[in-house]
Amino acid sequence: SQQGEEDPQALSIQEGENATMNCSYKTSINNLQWYRQNSGRGLVHLILIRSNEREKHSGRLRVTLDTSKKSSSLLITASRAADTASYFCATDTGSARQLTFGSGTQLTVLP
């Protein structure tokens, strides 16, 4: 079963715009991670945020975590066509090697 939901399910924006995706989960977590997947290929790790952190940055990515609301958001700034992919949040509640994934957001960046 999936830990939570992501919204929107699909997002279409113009190159240069910012993209925001949200993830909600159901149980207390240790870590929350974001992954990207291109066209049914393997997952690429983007960023990890621990339960005691509230915000984290990596390049054009900004992740926030609100454990009281059991939610996280991923912001991609100045998007590029190459950012077109599916984005998944994943949580772990004990073992970081046993991830529970959200349903994913399909992001399309139009040139």
Which parts of this chain interact with other proteins (CB under 8 A)?
A: 1-2, 30-31, 33, 35, 40-45, 48, 88, 90, 92, 95-104
Alpha carbon 100 to its chain centroid, in Å, reads: 13
Decide whether 13 or 43 has the Cβ nearer to other proteins. Answer: 43
How is residue 82 annotated by DSSP?
G
Decide whether 15 or 103 has the Cβ nearer to other proteins. Answer: 103
Decide whether 52 or 111 has the Cβ nearer to other proteins. Answer: 52
Alpha carbon 81 to its chain centroid, in Å, reads: 18
CB of residue 90 vs other proteins: minimum separation in angstroms? 8
Decide whether 14 or 38 has the Cβ nearer to other proteins. Answer: 38
CB of residue 108 vs other proteins: minimum separation in angstroms? 18
Q: Long-range contacts of range 38-43, CB-CB < 8 Å, 24 or more positions apart?
A: 38/84, 38/85, 38/86, 39/85, 43/88
The answer to whether the bond into 8 is cis (omega within 30° of 0) is: yes
